Structure formats: structure tokens, C-alpha cells
Amino acid sequence: MNDRADTVWVLISCALVLLMTPAVGLFYGGLVRRKNVLSTIMYSFFTLALIPVLWVSVGYSLAFGTSLGGFIGGFEFVGLAGLDPNLPASAGSKSMLFMLFQLTFAAITPALISGAFVERKRFGAFVIFTLAWSAFIYAPVAHWIWGGGWISQLKLFGGIGILDFAGGKVVHITSGVSALVCAIVIGKRQGLGRDKMTPYNAVLTVLGASLLWFGWFGFNGGSALAASGQAVHALVTTQSAAAAAALVWLALDWSLRKKPSVVGISVGAVSGLVAITPGAGYVTVMAALGIGGLTSVVCFVVTEHILRGRVDDALDVFGVHGVGGICGAVLTALFATSAVTGNEVNGALSGNPGLLGRQLIAIVAVAGYAAVGTFIILKLLNVSLGVRVSSDEEALGLDISQHGESLIEVPIATAASRRTDQRELVAHNAGD
């Protein structure tokens, strides 16, 4: 393939991945109560506006600038200085197209975290949290893995460094672990386990999952950075893992609840997409089926039998993205093979057990850093702004209390009408 074909493919992939952030909003929005649908969608849509501003100004440079001690990038790309729009994405950090592709990953990651604290977090606190988390957690981890930082240089146990084809550690482990910390620190929703918390609209969730599945072709296939055989292979493994995981989750859910669940099969598909992300370009198609199916089992057990009722990770972000990312990273280290890559990228089952050791070190480092960093950010925010809405605001619903809007009402024009409308809606919304 020539550079023009490669450029077209990565441009298409940018558009596909960009679609995934509002798709997360739809996926999550269908799972919350009616009084919180708009606020839940808002988290994702707002992130799609906020993160690009941060990324093009300083975030990209922190992630992909010249390494400062292996921890974070320098400042030579601030304001996108020195980037060339004529370079293909495969040229690396000085390519503007590579920057754009990485921007789409940076945008979706904090949106994923929002599923843990829906229905109870102040929007202002979310804004500051997202900026701080993206600058101080996402950018350093992206540098460690993809920007020439210390994890990418790991040589313990001999052989190649670590493998993360499309963001199992950078996107899913960071967001999943951070989501778990958010759920613990912010606390459970009022009435959890007592009040009815039926999802508003499963159609939104299925639509969101479908768009995520669609966009994931750009997420994984685009990570080849070329219109190549590896991109084709990544698409096939992505489809295979998602399908296997969806079927396995459906079967487990059917066995538990005695009925096949539409929401269940949607969540299962996402768990498979997460699982194959770190290894999409490194493992065989049959291995991808196994990775999707096995990860689906582990994610289901964690969400339904370990976390449920103990931690209010409202939309199972840790159970799907955190656990799925960890499983995918470990299984990639087992199943990676040079039969796919055409070079010496082999995993433990192909004679390179050292890769598994390095992957485990990377998993622990990324998870630990994300957990501690998220905890510090939340504690500082809680002291300064307050993270959680008041009891009355939570009962009313975040659509009204945070945004002055509702699915069943037009936007409120005046303070007087807002007070009247809130009194009329509070009894209705309290039961949603």
C-alpha cells in the first residue's frame, strides 16, 4: 500500500473512533433512570469538546513529546508546534494525523469513567476532574506505553518490551480502575437496593453498543496505522472476540435470570471488544474467539457475583473495562505469535514466557498509578468544590438539578418557572 491509501484508512479510523465517545453516552444513557438520562449523555458529549482543546494545546506533547526521565513527554509539541500534516500516521509523533488519531483515544477514555458515578456527581466537579485526570493520569500512561516512556522500554526477563496494540492498558485499565476508585470514594446512590432503578431505555443501550462495535473497527484496525494486512487481521479478530463474548454473556445471563437479556448481550459484546484491544494485531483468529469468550466469563463473574451490591460502580465500568483490559493484556501475553505479526513478537505459548512477566509489571504499574492519582484528584476536589450533589438534587435528578432540562419538559427559561417546575417534578422524579 502507498502513503495515500494509509492516510485515507487512518482518516476513516479517526472518524470511526470519534463516533465512539457519543456512543458511550447513548450506551450509558439507556441504563440510568429517566431523570438522569440527559446528564449521563452530557458527560460523554462534553468530553468530546473538552479533551480536544486540552490535547492540541498541551496534552499531546505530554504524551508524545521527548521523554523526560521516562515518565512524561516534554513540551516541544505544545500547540502542535512542529507537526507535519503531510506525514503518514506511521511516521510517529511528528505526524499531525497520528496526533489526530491519538486525540480520539484521549477523548473516549474519561467518558468511560463517567459510568461509575452517574446520577450523583456535580457537573462542575466532573469538568475539573476530567481535565486533571487527562493531564496527570492519561497523558503519562500514554507516554509510558506508546510515547517511549519507561514501560515501553521494559527489558526484564529478556526479549521484546510489552504489547498494547490499541489501548488495553492506556484506555481500559486506566479508565476501569479509576472508575472503581470513583465509585468507592463518591459512595452509593441513594436508595440503592431499596428503590426501583430500572434502566430508562434499552434501545439506547443497544444503539450505543452497536455504534461502539462499529467504531471499534477504527479503534483496533486503525492502530495498524496503515491500510495493511495487519489492519485486516485486527478487524477479523475484533469481530470474532466481540461475537464470542456476546454469546457467552448472553448464555450466562440467561442461566442466571432465566431469560435472554438484550442489555446483557450488549454488555457482553463490549467486554469482548475491550478484551481483544491489546492483542488484535498479535493473536490468531481462533485465539481471539477464546479471548473474547473467556474474558466474558470473568467480567460476568466479577460484575454479578463479586461487585454487585458491594460497590456502586453504577454501569459496571470496572467490571467490563478494567477487568476486560486486564484479561486482554494477560491473554495477549499468552497468545501473541509471530505467525500473525511476521516478526519475533511471540507470547508465552510460543516460547516467550518473559513477555507475560513484563505485561504483569505494566498492568500493576498502570492500575496502581491510576488508582492513586484518581483518589488524590477526588479528595482535592471534594475539599475545594464538593464532588457529590446534595440529597435533594439527587432525588430530583441531575437533568434538572445540574442542567435545568428534562426529557419530559422544555428547557426552563426563568428562575421563577424553574422553582415551579422543580416542585411539580420532584414527586414524579423521586420514583424514577
Mean pLDDT on 113-124:
97
Mean pLDDT on 149-162:
81
Scanning 75-138, the segments in alpha helix (DSSP H) are: 96-113, 123-133
Confidence of residue 158 (pLDDT cuts 50, 70, 90): low
Mean pLDDT on 190-214:
94
- Has residue 257 got a pLDDT over 60? yes
Higher pLDDT, 157 or 123: 123
In three-state secondary structure terms, 122 is coil
Pair (380, 396) in one structural domain = no
Mean pLDDT on 45-62:
98
CA 387 to each of CA 18, 137, 185, 384: distance values in angstroms, whole numbers, following the listed order: 28, 19, 10, 9
Provide the number of structural domains found in the chain. Answer: 2
Structural domain span for residue 406: 391-430
Residue 87 carries which DSSP code? S
CB 296 within 8 A of CB 249: yes
CB 228 within 8 A of CB 16: no
* Sequence letter at residue 400: I
In three-state secondary structure terms, 200 is coil
In three-state secondary structure terms, 31 is coil
Burial class (CB in 10 A: 0-12, 13-18, 19+), 3: middle
Mean residue pLDDT across the chain: 93
Which distant-in-sequence residues (6+ apart) come within 8 Å of 299 by Cβ? 249, 271, 319, 320, 323, 324, 327
Pair (419, 331) in one structural domain = no
Mean pLDDT on 292-306:
97
Pair (307, 417) in one structural domain = no
In three-state secondary structure terms, 214 is helix
Q: What does the pLDDT read at residue 61?
A: 98
Backbone angles phi, psi at 318, to 5 degrees: -65, -45
| Strand ranges (E), 166-312 | none
Residue that is last in its domain, among 369, 384, 399: 384
Pair (407, 346) in one structural domain = no
Nearest to 188 by CA among 139, 241, 246, 121: 121
Handedness of CA 129, 132, 134, 140 (dihedral sign): negative
Predicted confidence (pLDDT) per residue in 364-392, tens digit: 999 999 999 999 999 999 999 999 999 99
Residue 277: which CATH number? 1.10.3430.10
Whole-model pTM? Answer: 0.93
Pair (377, 410) in one structural domain = no
| C-alpha cell read off for 13 | 479510523
Please spell the DSSP secondary structure of 256-321, one letter per residue: HHSS--HHHHHHHHHHHHHHHGGGTTTS-HHHHHHHHHHHHHHHHHIIIIIITTTS--TT-HIIII
Q: What does the pLDDT read at residue 430?
A: 55
Q: d(Cα 202, Cα 31) in Å, to the nearest integer?
A: 7
Number of other residues whose CB lies within 10 A of the CB of residue 143: 27
Q: What does the pLDDT read at residue 160?
A: 67
Pair (281, 420) in one structural domain = no
Q: d(Cα 126, Cα 18) in Å, to the nearest integer?
A: 21
- Has residue 10 got a pLDDT over 60? yes
- Has residue 106 got a pLDDT over 70? yes
Q: Tell me the sheet residues that pair with 67.
A: 73
- Has residue 323 got a pLDDT over 60? yes
Which distant-in-sequence residues (6+ apart) come within 8 Å of 160 by Cβ? 344, 345, 352, 355
Which distant-in-sequence residues (6+ apart) come within 8 Å of 124 by Cβ? 385
Mean pLDDT on 78-83:
98
- Has residue 53 got a pLDDT over 80? yes
Q: What does the pLDDT read at residue 193?
A: 87
Pair (408, 263) in one structural domain = no
- Has residue 429 got a pLDDT over 70? no
CB 272 within 8 A of CB 328: no
Mean pLDDT on 333-338:
95
Q: What does the pLDDT read at residue 407?
A: 87
Nearest to 290 by CA among 235, 243, 344: 243
Pair (32, 95) in one structural domain = yes
Name the CA dihedral angle for 171, 176, 179, 183, rounded to a multiple of 10 degrees: 180
* Sequence letter at residue 170: V
Q: What does the pLDDT read at residue 270?
A: 98
Pair (10, 50) in one structural domain = yes
Q: d(Cα 138, Cα 174) in Å, to the nearest integer?
A: 7
* Sequence letter at residue 11: L
Task: Tell how strand 67-68 and strand 72-73 pair up.
Answer: antiparallel
Pair (178, 262) in one structural domain = yes
CA 418 to each of CA 36, 393, 430: distance values in angstroms, whole numbers, following the listed order: 17, 13, 17
Pair (408, 331) in one structural domain = no
Residue 73 carries which DSSP code? E
CA 199 to each of CA 263, 270, 313: distance values in angstroms, whole numbers, following the listed order: 10, 18, 15
- Has residue 416 got a pLDDT over 50? no
Pair (252, 397) in one structural domain = no
* Sequence letter at residue 221: G
Residue 151 carries which DSSP code? G
- Has residue 77 got a pLDDT over 80? yes
